[in-house]
Amino acid sequence: MNTINKNNSTHSQRNAVSEEHNAVNKERNTAIEVSNLQFSYTKESPPIIDIKAWQVSQGEHVFLSGPSGSGKSTLLNLLCGTLTPTQGDIALLEQPFSSLSNRQRDKFRACHIGVVFQQFNLIPYLSVAQNIHAAVYFAGTKPSKKTEDAKLHHLLDKLQLPSHVLHAKADALSIGQQQRVAIARALINDPQLLIVDEPTSALDTDARDSFMSLLKDVAGESTMVFVSHDKAMESYFDRHCSMSELSPSTNHIKTRGAEAPKAQERA
Amino acid sequence: MLSTIAIESLKRRKTSAILTLLSITISISLLLCVDIIRTQVKTSFTRTVSGVDLIVGAPSGQLNLLLSSVFNIGTPTKGIEYKSIAALQSNKQVSWLIPLSLGDTHRGFRVVGTTNSFFDHFKYGDMQSLEMAAGSAFTQPLSTVVGAEIATSLGYKVGDEIIISHGLGNVSFNNHDAHPFTISGILKKTGTPVDKAVYVTLQGLEEAHTRPKHSPTSMLGRKPADKAKEHEHEHEHEHEHEHDEHTEEHAAYHSEAFTPESVSVVMLGLKHRVTALQLQYQINQSKKEPLMAILPGMALAELWQIMGNVESLLLGLSGLIVICALIGLATMLLATMRERYQEIAVLRTIGAGPFTLLLLIQIEAMLLTIVSAALSFGLVAGLMSALKPWLSSTYGLFLSSPLFGQSSVIIILLILGCTYLVSLFPAVAAYRRGLHAGLNAN
């Protein structure tokens, strides 16, 4: 009974902190605003995400942590629009993102959100240059060839990738190179929001630190939500949110997104 | 960008892409071949005879009369007596008349007994007259004029002697050895059955059939003096300075003056074409000798109608084969979709909309079909070029340019339309697959 009271007390304190932070954010432009968000893979199953309110300010770098199965990747997929909320709203850059049509959401994502996937998800048969150019092409921003090339080379320099890599096929690159190319693709359209899903899970400590420095550098003023189960990375970010704080009522549910039923997978 | 992705994607899956490409290429080639044969046969048919208003023969059947007289196919009809020919010749509506006597062969090629009026009046294609590639028309009773293909395949030249055989078989034991015909002319190529026929004088043909072998009078009733003169002339033939005399004598020969006992068929040219139906009716109602007159155009149309059913069947079968190949294409695309869900999901994540994805899948399908169509055109053109001599010698099918016509273009457009339709299924399947599931496919 005491334990329950203690837990309730902790949650109350955290909610108070969160509300205070949200109040501060209201004074700044909001990059992410989540309200009454629920998500479950089937109608019958209990929600694996249940967030009353959550805000991220523009330019803020947020670290989202939680154990495996806590729903952090699911939350990222909801923020990317690759999953649709069962209930509630997500507003991104002050746009009602969750109520957009699939096509509008695809377009919004292409123009305003840069996504670095856990598995990088480069198109293996395209060259590095083609992979990055595809992001520009499908976003429909149509910069001049000169501007695009300049931006590409600037990114390659920052990411410490040699120019000859541009002509190599994506599947011929090392994991580290694929990771950097994925970042370059995510940043080529100057996204206002960068969503990064556990890209350091396969790296050792030194490589991880080096990568994080690089990422922070290239992310610049973009709002970033970074997901990892490794709490040691908290120091790189402005704020740390754990899934247990954000979605306390679902914290006990250990369901991995990838293993979920397919009925509601369509986004 | 889309075409780059499509090409690179196909290159990535080159084994299945090449197999699909081959399957579609073979199907389109088959369809094009059938279409070419169909159009070429039709062209060949319609250009076989022109300017002939009526064909008259013994009552048998419209098609039999047409086939035996124009196409040199089938058994000739029973003969028409001379008095009937004379009656036709004296008819005021008749402008010219070509008698044809059929039933003999030379080394498998049909022999046609006729007069010089054949070379004057017979027309083919777009009212084109027969022309000599070498020599001239009949110059004496035992003259023969051979078609271009016979001259080429048997290596004949003007002045060569040939022996004709009785009957229509390729091999005959009843040769008219005693009556060798001398080639007086070789016709220019026409692309019609004329190229594969041996034309002899009615007079020579009748003599070959009625006079015994080695008969002293076997030179068609000409006086011994004439014969001696001819032999003498043959000796002199080599002497250039006497050539003029030789020509003069040949020019004096009037093959039309001979009156045969009967002929197989008569082709008529009328002064006014509008009277053709009227004369046809008169001839068909003739009570003196039962005769049958046909309008070549109508008979050709009837023949083509019969051929048309076979043609439609062939075209239908080829169409089905193409549809099977296109379903194979859709199957290939669907099968590869499974391994491309992640790629499709990534493309969606970076902004490719449903229409763009649809377009991407369709560009891949269209690329395969367009390359297949181009390969098919090349393959069929090469094949037809290689088979041209065989088709003309074996089936009498003369391929004329251009090989590919409007129908070929329509076929390709239809195939591209079908490709568009069948590629819709994999394209829709790709988009409907969950984006989230695709991104986590690994």
> What average pLDDT does this structure show over B41-70?
81
Assess whether pLDDT exceeds 70 at residue A179. Answer: yes
Min Cα distance B321 → chain A (Å) is 33
State the best of B11, B339, B350 to mutate against chain A, taking most chain A CBs within 10 Å: B350
Assess whether pLDDT exceeds 80 at residue B232. Answer: no
Interface contact B349-A125, CB threshold 8 A: no
Task: In whole angstroms, give the CA distance from residue A101 to residue A103.
Answer: 5
Establish if A117 touches chain B: CB-CB under 8 angstroms. yes
Min Cα distance A214 → chain B (Å) is 22
B97 and B210 share one domain = yes
* Residue A261, pLDDT score: 42
Of A67, A70, A71, A91, whose CA–CA distance to A81 is shortest?
A91
* Average pLDDT over all residues of chain B: 78
Cβ neighbours of residue B70 under 8 Å, at least 6 residues apart? B48, B49, B55, B193, B296
Chain B residues with beta carbon closer than 8 angstroms to that of A100: none
Assess whether pLDDT exceeds 80 at residue B235. Answer: no
Chain B residues with beta carbon closer than 8 angstroms to that of A82: 345, 349, 435-436, 439
Chain B residues with beta carbon closer than 8 angstroms to that of A78: none
Establish if B349 touches chain A: CB-CB under 8 angstroms. yes
Assess whether pLDDT exceeds 70 at residue B171. Answer: no
Interface contact B349-A80, CB threshold 8 A: yes
Q: What part of A 140-199 touches B (C-beta under 8 Å)?
A: 140, 185
**Containing structural domain, residue B433:** 2-45+307-439
Assess whether pLDDT exceeds 80 at residue B48. Answer: no
Tell me if B401 is assigned to some domain: yes
B197 and B214 share one domain = yes
- The Cα angle at residue B68 between residues B62 and B71, in degrees rounded to 5: 105
Greater pLDDT, B185 or B241? B185
pTM, rounded to two decimals: 0.64
Instruction: Find which of B163-172, B217-226, B228-237, B353-362 is predicted with most confidence, using mean pLDDT.
Output: B353-362
| Residue B182: its H or E element | strand B181-187
* Residue B216, pLDDT score: 40
B100 and B229 share one domain = yes
Assess whether pLDDT exceeds 60 at residue A233. Answer: yes
Greater pLDDT, A78 or B47? A78
Task: In whole angstroms, give the CA distance from residue B75 to residue B58.
Answer: 12
Q: Of B1, B8, B434, which has the smallest distance from its Cβ to A137's Cβ? A: B1
Instruction: Find which of A51-55, B42-46, B123-127, B421-425 is predicted with most confidence, using mean pLDDT.
Output: A51-55
At B91-145, the pLDDT tens digits run 888 889 899 888 888 888 888 988 888 888 888 877 788 888 888 888 888 889 9
At B257-268, the pLDDT tens digits run 677 778 888 998
| Proportion of chain A above pLDDT 70, given as a percent | 81
Task: In whole angstroms, give the CA distance from residue B65 to residue B51.
Answer: 17
E-only strand ranges, B80-163: 80-81, 94-106, 109-114, 123-124, 128-129, 132-135, 143-146, 161-162
Chain A residues with beta carbon closer than 8 angstroms to that of B349: 80, 82, 106, 109-110, 115, 121
CB atoms inside a 10 Å sphere around CB B250: 17
Q: Of A110, A262, A265, which has the smallest distance from its Cβ to B350's Cβ? A: A110
Which of A13-27, A78-92, A185-199 comes out lowest in average pLDDT? Answer: A13-27
Interface contact B350-A139, CB threshold 8 A: yes
- The Cα angle at residue B353 between residues B348 and B356, in degrees rounded to 5: 105
At B379-412, the pLDDT tens digits run 998 988 888 777 766 666 667 777 787 878 888 8
Tell me if B301 is assigned to some domain: no
Chain B residues with beta carbon closer than 8 angstroms to that of A137: 1
- The Cα angle at residue B140 between residues B139 and B144, in degrees rounded to 5: 75
- Strand, helix or coil at A242? strand
> Quick one: pLDDT band at residue B174, thresholds 50, 70, 90?
low
Q: What is the DSSP string of A29-80?
A: PEEEEEEEEEE-SSSSSPPSEEEEEEEEETT-EEEEE--TTSSHHHHHHHHH
Strand B161-162 to strand B181-187: parallel, antiparallel, or no bridges (unpaired)?
antiparallel
Establish if A266 touches chain B: CB-CB under 8 angstroms. yes
Task: In whole angstroms, give the CA distance from residue B175 to residue B161.
Answer: 14
* Residue B334, pLDDT score: 77
Chain B residues with beta carbon closer than 8 angstroms to that of A122: 346
* Residue A198, pLDDT score: 78
Greater pLDDT, B250 or B121? B121
The answer to whether A106 touches A60, Cβ cutoff 8 Å, is no
* Residue A251, pLDDT score: 57
B101 and B207 share one domain = yes
> What average pLDDT does this structure show over B295-313?
80
The answer to whether B291 touches B80, Cβ cutoff 8 Å, is yes
Which residue is associated with the tokens 């979605």? A247
> What average pLDDT does this structure show over A103-121?
82
* Residue A250, pLDDT score: 61
The two structure tokens encoding residue B410: 């329509």
Of A31, A11, A9, A29, whose CA–CA distance to A19 is shortest?
A11
Which of A95-104, B294-303, B313-322 comes out lowest in average pLDDT? Answer: B313-322
B134 and B249 share one domain = yes
Residue of A nearest to B9 (CA): A125
Q: Is the dihedral of CA A36, A40, A42, A44 positive or negative?
A: negative
Establish if B10 touches chain A: CB-CB under 8 angstroms. no
* Residue B371, pLDDT score: 93
B186 bridge partner residues: B134, B146
Total of domains in chain B? 2
* Residue B128, pLDDT score: 81
* Residue B435, pLDDT score: 58
Assess whether pLDDT exceeds 80 at residue A178. Answer: yes
Establish if A133 touches chain B: CB-CB under 8 angstroms. yes
* Residue B287, pLDDT score: 78
Tell me if B350 is assigned to some domain: yes
Class of domain A25-259: alpha beta
Q: Of A103, A106, A266, which has the smallest distance from its Cβ to B434's Cβ? A: A266
At B186-210, the pLDDT tens digits run 998 887 888 888 999 988 887 777 7
Of A59, A45, A29, whose CA–CA distance to A238 is shortest?
A59
Task: In whole angstroms, give the CA distance from residue B230 to residue A46.
Answer: 117
* Residue A4, pLDDT score: 41
Chain A residues with beta carbon closer than 8 angstroms to that of B434: 262, 265-267
Residue of B nearest to A141 (CA): B351
Chain B residues with beta carbon closer than 8 angstroms to that of A121: 342, 345-346, 349, 439
The two structure tokens encoding residue B42: 């039709």
Interface contact B436-A137, CB threshold 8 A: no
Query: Using the 8-state DSSP alphabet, how is residue B193 labeled?
Result: G
B243 and B97 share one domain = yes
Establish if A267 touches chain B: CB-CB under 8 angstroms. yes
A21, A73, B115, B148, B222 from B250: Cα distances, Å: 121, 105, 14, 22, 14
* Residue B198, pLDDT score: 92
Establish if B309 touches chain A: CB-CB under 8 angstroms. no
B261 and B321 share one domain = no
Interface contact B8-A130, CB threshold 8 A: yes
Of B419, B341, B424, whose CA–CA distance to B373 is shortest?
B419
CB atoms inside a 10 Å sphere around CB B15: 7
Q: Where are the alpha helices (DSSP H) in A163-242?
A: 175-187, 205-219
* Residue A83, pLDDT score: 83
Strand order in the sheet with A223-228: A113-116, A193-197, A223-228, A61-65, A239-242
Q: Which of B294, B316, B341 is the last residue of a domain?
A: B294
- Strand, helix or coil at B64? helix
Interface contact A106-B1, CB threshold 8 A: no
Which residue is associated with the tokens 């991220």? A56
The answer to whether B206 touches B113, Cβ cutoff 8 Å, is yes
* Residue A265, pLDDT score: 40
Establish if B155 touches chain A: CB-CB under 8 angstroms. no
Q: Of B5, B352, B439, which has the smallest distance from its Cβ to A117's Cβ? A: B439
The two structure tokens encoding residue B253: 């020969």
Task: In whole angstroms, give the CA distance from residue A34 to residue A106.
Answer: 19
Task: In whole angstroms, give the CA distance from residue A217 to residue A232.
Answer: 19
Interface contact B350-A117, CB threshold 8 A: no
What distance separates the 2 farthest-apart alpha carbons in chain B?
108
At B408-431, the pLDDT tens digits run 888 888 888 888 888 888 777 776
Assess whether pLDDT exceeds 70 at residue B220. Answer: no
Tell me if B196 is assigned to some domain: yes
B211 and B228 share one domain = yes
Interface contact A106-B352, CB threshold 8 A: yes
> What average pLDDT does this structure show over A125-130?
88
Task: In whole angstroms, give the CA distance from residue B342 to residue A93.
Answer: 27
> Quick one: pLDDT band at residue B374, thresholds 50, 70, 90?
very high
> What average pLDDT does this structure show over A143-152?
80
Tell me if B229 is assigned to some domain: yes
